[in-house]
Amino acid sequence: MADEHWRHLARLDTHTLDQLMAEYGQAVWNYAFLLVKHRAMADDITQDVFLKAYRRFGEFRGEASVKTWLLRITHNVSMNYLRSSFFRRALLVDRIRGRGTGASAEQEFIDREAASELWRQVFRLPAKYREVLVLQARYELGVAEIAKILDIPEGTVKSRLYAARRRLSAMLSEEGLLHEPT
């Protein structure tokens, strides 16, 4: 559905909420999961995001696209979840890449269901690099939009993007997955 359609809506009802979820549900869930790497938490975050959107759709002024608006809410909600005492740190010690045994259920899930080895490596990146890279490459957002979503200066976005690319290239190289141009 065109962004124009959403711009002209004053509020959501359950029917338009369904439309919004059909269009952006997977994108929101994936973004949340990329941040928290926990399925149940990604479910909860997605629920919170759409309920916030439902309650506050009137605040969407159409300055950004609906997608950017939703991703911003997703980022904020995810950060709140991660900051909460129970998920402040969660170190799943026995991560064994490429093998299921002994890994945490979430790591197993990523190993099993990541769309490609490249994505598996992306999940291994530190969150701050993972996030900017995904927003740019997967969600096709510009630096200014990413800066707005993350509430950081554009310069920081650029430097993170640079570091993320370098880091991921190094990881892919280590794994023998990077095909250097000849």
Partner 1 sequence: MNRPEPDWHADLSGEPLRVKMFTPELAARIRVQAEAESARSARTMNASTRRALYIGAAASCLAVILLLALQQDRVTLLEQIVVGDSSVQPGEPVSAAGGGQDAAITGMATESEARSETGEDGATPKESASAGSDGAGQPAEPGQPAEAADPGAVEPDATSNPDAADEAGKTDDAARAAPDDSRIRYPVGSKYPRLMVKEPNREDWQLLVDLTHPNRQYEVIFEDFVDDRRWLIVSRVMTEKGDELRGRLMVDEMAWELDGWQWSGSLEFESGSLRNSDKRVIASWMGFGPKESAIEIFMGFLLDPDIVRIRVTDHRDDVHEAKLFPDARGVTLWYARTPEQPYHSDYVVEGWDAEGNMVYSKPLKDHALHVGHKENPDAEAQP
Among positions 111-140, residues that touch partner 1 (CB under 8 A) are 113-116, 118-119, 122-123, 126-129, 131, 133-134, 137-138, 140
- Which residues ranging from 17 to 46 are in contact with partner 1 (CB under 8 A)? 17-18, 21-22, 25-26, 28-30, 33-37, 39-40, 42-43, 46
Q: Which of 5, 7, 62, 105 binds partner 1 (CB under 8 A)?
A: 105
Nearest to partner 1 of 9, 114 (CB atom): 114
Q: Which of 55, 62, 170, 174 binds partner 1 (CB under 8 A)?
A: 55
- Which residues ranging from 64 to 83 are in contact with partner 1 (CB under 8 A)? 69, 72-73, 76-77, 79-80, 82-83
For 29, the token pair is 């869930």
* Contact by Cβ (8 Å): 154, 144: yes
Q: What distances in angstroms separate CA 68 from CA 90, 129, 134, one per listed residue?
A: 28, 18, 13
Closest CA to 35 of 3, 67, 76: 76
CB of 12 to partner 1, least distance (A): 8
Q: Which of 9, 65, 143, 167 binds partner 1 (CB under 8 A)?
A: 143
* Contact by Cβ (8 Å): 160, 129: yes
Nearest to partner 1 of 5, 13 (CB atom): 13
Q: Name, in order, each residue with C-beta under 8 angstroms of 11's C-beta and a sequence gap of 6 or more.
A: 57, 58
CB of 8 to partner 1, least distance (A): 17
Q: Which of 1, 5, 7, 102 binds partner 1 (CB under 8 A)?
A: 102
Q: Name, in order, each residue with C-beta under 8 angstroms of 53's C-beta and a sequence gap of 6 or more.
A: 12, 17, 20, 60, 69, 70, 73
CB of 174 to partner 1, least distance (A): 14
Q: How far is CA 103 from the centre of its chain?
A: 22
CA–CA dist 14, 83 (Å, integer)? 31
CB of 139 to partner 1, least distance (A): 9
Q: At residue 64, what are phi and psi to the nearest 5 degrees?
A: -110, 175
Number of residues that bind partner 1 (CB under 8 A): 94
